[in-house]
A and B are shown apart, each in its own frame.
Chain A
């Protein structure tokens, strides 16, 4: 949600921050005077994280290159890099008198090409040490070109082409995110971004409104909200046009010829989401047999099998939603419900106040497109991992496993899974999966502590630290990386600061193997777990209590070999 801040409000926000809050260092890399942009960054950070504060580090005026190098060596845990045309060639700013005439266009072009390449190299180094948000030029060129202002000159087009090439390379770098120019244009129209008075008087390029909007977008880019995990959709007049129980299975439609294209677009978006690993389910008031037959149509733009569970009945939708949440084992705050009926949305919203309930407006394509953009914002994430493609299938498998486990002896059943575990001890700043797991797992989570990307990279740099990803597969299929152990080892003592296991991997005794792994590390005699009870880590507490440990209070829990399971069911190997 856009938050508009005036400069005075931003200053008051910073002033109102309580003393003693934890502080994060953000390096603001720019070639102009940071001035109000630094102020707005601090303020928007304070709004995003009311219990924290940002110290914004700055570099040298007019020296983007040098400031990038300083930022790379700094102890900042995040960086914002704002590039304007004047940083690439001073003749493209208002404070230089070098000019932009025909005689120098080729030189400007060549100079900018070299500068982009140098900046990209510096950014790669910076992004290896901390998450980086990059802003491509937001201001227009000053008067470059022989054409009238409404016609783009070839030189201008070439400059934009260079910038686009740079952004395409930059967007591929791990830990680096590029601000989307289209989103910035929505919140800060191009015509009102520049403040020539301030640029000439003080070297600060932006209007206050643009600086505030830009800072807000940058904080969102660096610290995005956790993406939603699941989407539950209605069928009639939502997934398709028409009421299947009335018109029949073959008559519901979703194509442009039937004036039902927005339903087709919605199906395409859901298909995209399923490829990203978003869980999809259906909650519909319908005849189950009719709905299932319609979902078997081969011309659906998303196959019916992509949805699990499919809850079709004449009962309240809140009941269907409750059953879906149970099957997924996730909380309503991570789920979006989409329906064309305001009544159904209200009913589900009342039963699950934390769920995001969004209307599908079948009569208004503009509103539907807005919905799709909103869904992109809710579910989008910086990286998609191999595990994301496995998620839906593993949820189905978990349901089968729970069913089978209920009917057999627990030990025999788990051994019969033929599970294989891989403990990957290689520390890699490009592997985002481990941090994602630490920050989104709630139930089997040692202490609920969330770690910023910058802090995680610092942890990996520590020679005594470890960060182990645990991957699992069995005869039901692979789950990918589903667990993390992180902490420090000094001599024979291992201190575990993060221990998480995805709920998809429950009921397989993997947690026992994880303890075995830790105590099996060379020289280790004891493990110290930095435990804290949270509202949601009941399953972890239950496991620790089963080991005879007291989970009543936060603190250090010590384990030795005596606490270990005697017979572990799976094969395990270690990658180093």
Chain B
């Protein structure tokens, strides 16, 4: 697991404490019943805090799965 994956996984585990660890990499807003709008904002806030960045409002809708979030931060780290 990369550092980015590990940190995103921790955030998911904090926001969705009942989600088994092995299911986190497959988690998405569509597939997870508890991923409602409140959980979505909480998750993105936790992730923004973890990575010490501000997420533009345009990403509120696009960052809707574990995979997309990891890819987003991996792309950011490459571009730095």
Residues of A participating in the B interface, judged by any CB pair closer than 8 Å: 6-8, 11-12, 14-15, 33, 35-36, 39, 197-198, 200-202, 204, 208
Determine whether the beta carbon of B42 is less than 8 Å from that of A8.
no
Residues of B participating in the A interface, judged by any CB pair closer than 8 Å: 10-11, 13-15, 17, 37-38, 41-42, 45-46, 49-50, 54, 57, 60
Q: How far is A43 from B13 in the complex, measured between Cα atoms in Å?
A: 16
Name 24 interchain pairs, CB-CB below 8 A, sorted by A: A6-B49, A7-B46, A8-B11, A8-B14, A8-B49, A11-B15, A11-B17, A11-B46, A12-B14, A14-B17, A15-B17, A33-B38, A36-B42, A36-B45, A39-B42, A197-B57, A198-B45, A200-B57, A201-B41, A201-B57, A201-B60, A202-B37, A202-B41, A208-B49
Determine whether the beta carbon of B17 is less than 8 Å from that of A7.
no
Query: In the assembled complex, how far is the CB of residue A195 from the closest CB belonging to chain B, in whole angstroms?
Result: 9
How many residue pairs at the A-B interface have CB separations less than 8 Å? 41
Q: How far is A208 from B45 in the complex, measured between Cα atoms in Å?
A: 9
Main secondary structure, interface of B, reads helix
Whose C-beta in chain A lies nearest to the C-beta of B56?
A197
Whose C-beta in chain A lies nearest to the C-beta of B49?
A7
Q: How far is A477 from B15 in the complex, measured between Cα atoms in Å?
A: 60
Q: How far is A8 from B14 in the complex, measured between Cα atoms in Å?
A: 7
Determine whether the beta carbon of B41 is less than 8 Å from that of A35.
yes
Q: Given the interface contacts A36-B45, A39-B42, does A11 sit within 8 Å of B14 by beta carbon?
A: yes
Query: In the assembled complex, how far is the CB of residue A38 from the closest CB belonging to chain B, in whole angstroms?
Result: 9
Query: In the assembled complex, how far is the CB of residue A376 from the closest CB belonging to chain B, in whole angstroms?
Result: 34
Report B-chain residues with C-beta under 8 Å of the C-beta of A7.
42, 45-46, 49
Q: How far is A35 from B39 in the complex, measured between Cα atoms in Å?
A: 9
Q: How far is A422 from B17 in the complex, measured between Cα atoms in Å?
A: 55
Determine whether the beta carbon of A35 is less than 8 Å from that of B49.
no
Report B-chain residues with C-beta under 8 Å of the C-beta of A200.
57
Q: How far is A15 from B10 in the complex, measured between Cα atoms in Å?
A: 12
Query: In the assembled complex, how far is the CB of residue A412 from the closest CB belonging to chain B, in whole angstroms?
Result: 67
Q: How far is A36 from B14 in the complex, measured between Cα atoms in Å?
A: 13
Whose C-beta in chain A lies nearest to the C-beta of B54?
A197
Report B-chain residues with C-beta under 8 Å of the C-beta of A33.
38
Report A-chain residues with C-beta under 8 Å of the C-beta of B38.
33, 35
Report A-chain residues with C-beta under 8 Å of the C-beta of B50.
8
Whose C-beta in chain B lies nearest to the C-beta of A13?
B14
Query: In the assembled complex, how far is the CB of residue A40 from the closest CB belonging to chain B, in whole angstroms?
Result: 11
Contact of A35 among B14, B17, B42, B57 (CB under 8 A): B42
Query: In the assembled complex, how far is the CB of residue A204 from the closest CB belonging to chain B, in whole angstroms?
Result: 7
Whose C-beta in chain A lies nearest to the C-beta of B10?
A8
Q: How far is A12 from B14 in the complex, measured between Cα atoms in Å?
A: 5
Whose C-beta in chain B lies nearest to the C-beta of A10?
B14
Report B-chain residues with C-beta under 8 Å of the C-beta of A197.
54, 57
Query: In the assembled complex, how far is the CB of residue B7 from the closest CB belonging to chain A, in whole angstroms?
Result: 9
Query: In the assembled complex, how far is the CB of residue A202 from the closest CB belonging to chain B, in whole angstroms?
Result: 5
Determine whether the beta carbon of B57 is less than 8 Å from that of A8.
no
Q: How far is A7 from B43 in the complex, measured between Cα atoms in Å?
A: 10
Query: In the assembled complex, how far is the CB of residue B47 from the closest CB belonging to chain A, in whole angstroms?
Result: 9
Query: In the assembled complex, how far is the CB of residue B39 from the closest CB belonging to chain A, in whole angstroms?
Result: 10
